[in-house]
Amino acid sequence: MLFSRDICTSIYLSIYLSIYQELYAYGITNIVISFFGCFTATGAVSRTSVQVGCGAKSQVSSLVGALFVLIVIFVAGPWLKTLPICVLSFGIGLLIGAVLGIISVIMRTLWVEAVSLGIINNTKVFLDQTKYQGVTLPAGIKVVSYSSPLYYANVDIFRNEIDSKTEKFKKVNKHSNGQMVSTDLSIIINPKSANSLHEDRFHQKIIIECSGISFIDRMGATALQQLYVEYKNKGISCLFSGVNDRVISVLKACGAFNTLQYVMYRTTYDAMLAAGFEENEINTRF
């Protein structure tokens, strides 16, 4: 471990260090000090790491550290005499730290906001529309990114975020013939427009960018399947892009892949092309 520390330090400081030189130094030092009843010569890994992080490059830093320890022993010693008693409760501190760490991870997965993406002209780069200028999307297409694992604890939050970003697609739209028609196909205010509505019922497209979803469980897979089916019933075509292999394996195990495999694309750009030219982009599907 000490040799690994020395090698890593030399690489960090761009200094050539011979392993054999270190072996000779440790061996000769321990031979000499054995005649004087001294402790075995070794190195402090934590102290060396702190010194390297502070930019120390010579033995002067060790001298400063030794002076500080001397001051603690003779001056601050009485103030630290109860410290060993506190150390006995380190198990409670570790438990509290572990619990707080788990809670923080869970809360970060719950408090994730979906982001509306746009594409830079003449590129395949998608960026947040609220943070970058010059990113647009063709009419009738919405790209939403969700960067969090999708599991039982945040399924409802995921649905609410997606619905909030696509709210305008779910509102009543004005049809080309001047009649008001609901996007829900079960409600047709003007029956005569049913045929024309059926022809362009999927003119609205939603692309869910899933590259930020690292893993899902059964409830997450069911949520994606229900999202696709519900939007399809409302006259909105829902596509998925950037789904990783781990998520796909869960979808297959849960039986949702059979429903979603024909609307899943490797990149968001492929999904956007398929949203306008689905028949010409079949090869980009999973």
| pLDDT, mean of residues 12-25 | 70
Looking at per-residue pLDDT, the higher value among 102 and 4 belongs to 102
CATH 3.30.750.24 boundaries in the chain: 110-284
Q: Kindly write down the DSSP assignment for every residue of 97-153, as one continuous string.
A: HHHHHHHHHHHHHHS---EEEEEETTS--EEETTT-SSEE--TTEEEEE--S-B-TT
CB atoms within 10 A of CB 271: 25
DSSP string, 163-212: HHHTHHHHSPEEPTTS-EE-SSTT--SSGGGHHHHHHTTT-EEEEEE-TT
Q: What is the pLDDT of residue 170?
A: 57
CA-nearest of 143, 128, 154 to 204 is: 143
- Reply yes or no on whether the pLDDT at 41 is more than 50: yes
Instruction: Give the pairing of strands 264-265 and 180-181.
Output: unpaired
pLDDT at 183 over 50: no
Tokens of 68: 């500080």
pLDDT band at 279 (very low <50, low <70, confident <90, very high): very low
Topology of domain 110-284 in CATH is Transcription Regulator spoIIAA (3.30.750)
Mean pLDDT for the stretch of residues 65-81: 81
pTM for the whole thing? Answer: 0.60
Q: Given a cut of 70, is residue 11 above it in pLDDT? A: no
For residue 216, the 8-state DSSP code is B
Range scoring the smallest mean pLDDT among 31-40, 78-87, 145-154, 220-229: 78-87
List pLDDT tens digits, range 261-275.
999 999 988 888 887
The two three-digit tokens of residue 116, written as one number? 């509306």
Q: Give the DSSP letter of residue 1.
A: -
The share of the chain scoring above pLDDT 90, in percent, equals 17
